[in-house]
Structure 1
Amino acid sequence: MSNLHELPADLPVPENDGAADHLPGRRAPHVELPGTGGETVVLDALGPGRSVIYVYPLTGRPDADLPRGWNAIPGARGCTAEACDFRDHHRELTAAGAARVFGLSSQDGEYQREVVERLHLPFSMLADPRLRLAGELDLPTFEADGMTLYKRLTLIIRDGVIEHVFYPIFPPNEHAQQVLTWLRENAADR
């Protein structure tokens, strides 16, 4: 197993295929997802302010192999590094106007709880093993090792509406910093 915190230098860069162009301006759907803190997060009732939801394929574990060909799939590799980037910049993100930060993947709640504990994440991860959000918003997915997984993207939801979408995302280990820059340049009180 390779180091999940480091990205290989030769990763293929994902291209914008337009699969998220329809999202800005849409209302957040009524989807209830379990969070790793024991809460149920209702996406159309997140509360006032901005919520950052970064959606990613799957987080690897140090004791398990990644799906076959993982490094060759544009945008697949880097979920652990991305989570750590959001962890390391969490305080700055909230200071810049993110009322809430969540990670979301198709992995189940038990898997997500292990990730939160292992990586010491200060925010909840949301489990969507049935890809309900993908169905409601027509989010982009891909197939790997017989699994349907989310393509990496980030939703900025403000007062129940998708205000901004980051897609495609590269490099994932610097993505929280990209979100932070956007939040600072687009203050909610403007």
Structure 2
Amino acid sequence: MSLKEVDWSKLPVPEDDGTASRIEGADMPALALDATNGGQVDLSRLSGTSVVYAYPKTGQPGTPLPDGWDMIPGARGCTPQSCAFRDHYKELSALGASHIFGLSTQSTAYQSEAVDRLHLPFPLLSDAGLELTTALNLPTFEVEGQTLLKRLTLIVRDSVVIKVFYPVFPPDRNAADVMAWLKDNQS
């Protein structure tokens, strides 16, 4: 199914279970995450405004997603979400986003395929060890023995989470929602 063929109305809508409300106002923990650009990123050390969108799992062509994936509320849509941030990258930067990152619990090697295939102009961060997930108590779910992040987006300014978008649905609209918020909340 191509991006344009996704009928979001046929997928279950994630509900706000309140698990992300405690994240707003939190300090980012000092820890380095592996990035697909070959380096590491410590979100607590970045100045300015960073946008970090978390997603469960990108699929790879020819590799099936877990059974029942489309029926897990909020699971479907990692590629459309990433492509929306890619397509709006310059606009987000112009609105003050100094840094943009995708974040998942997948390995950097796995994520690198998506960066190349989708031509992302920003790195994806790996929290495969669940350090950031645990430190911020990010909302997760389990599927086929994997701990995956529920879809959310953090706006971090000078190491403090100032806004959390959760739940994110439909995922292809997330970048536009972030742009609207940045426009209304410029520092």
Range into which the TM-score falls when normalised by the shorter chain: over 0.9
Decide whether the 8 Å contact of 1:6 with 1:81 is kept in 2.
no
Q: 1:106 maps to which residue?
A: 105
Q: 1:95 maps to which residue?
A: 94
Q: 2:24 maps to which residue?
A: 24
Decide whether the 8 Å contact of 1:155 with 1:162 is kept in 2.
yes
- Match runs of 1:113-124 below 5 Å: 113-124=112-123
- Match runs of 1:36-115 below 5 Å: 36-46=36-46, 48-115=47-114
Decide whether the 8 Å contact of 2:53 with 2:101 is kept in 1.
yes
* Matched residue type, 2:154: L
Deviation of 1:101 (Å): 0.1
* Matched residue type, 2:142: E
Return the alpha-carbon distance in structure 1 between the equivalents of residues 113 and 3 of structure 2: 15
* Matched residue type, 1:178: D
Decide whether the 8 Å contact of 1:5 with 1:80 is kept in 2.
no
Deviation of 1:3 (Å): 3.7
Deviation of 1:5 (Å): 6.3
Return the alpha-carbon distance in structure 2 between the equivalents of residues 111 and 105 of structure 1: 10
Query: Please, which runs of 5 or more residues in structure 1 have no aligned partner?
Result: none
TM-score (norm 1): 0.95
Query: Please, which runs of 5 or more residues in structure 2 have no aligned partner?
Result: none
Q: 1:154 maps to which residue?
A: 153
3-state DSSP class of the match of 1:80?
Answer: helix
Return the alpha-carbon distance in structure 1 between the equivalents of residues 5 and 81 of structure 2: 10
Let me know the Cα RMSD of the aligned residues. Answer: 1.1
Deviation of 1:146 (Å): 1.9
3-state DSSP class of the match of 1:113?
Answer: helix
Decide whether the 8 Å contact of 1:5 with 1:78 is kept in 2.
no
Q: 2:137 maps to which residue?
A: 138
3-state DSSP class of the match of 1:17?
Answer: coil
**Change in 2 beyond 3 A, CA 1:121/1:55:** same
* Matched residue type, 1:53: V
Decide whether the 8 Å contact of 1:30 with 1:42 is kept in 2.
yes
Q: 1:11 maps to which residue?
A: 11
Decide whether the 8 Å contact of 1:96 with 1:187 is kept in 2.
yes
- Say how many residue pairs are matched: 186
3-state DSSP class of the match of 1:154?
Answer: strand
> Among the aligned pairs, what percent are the same residue?
53
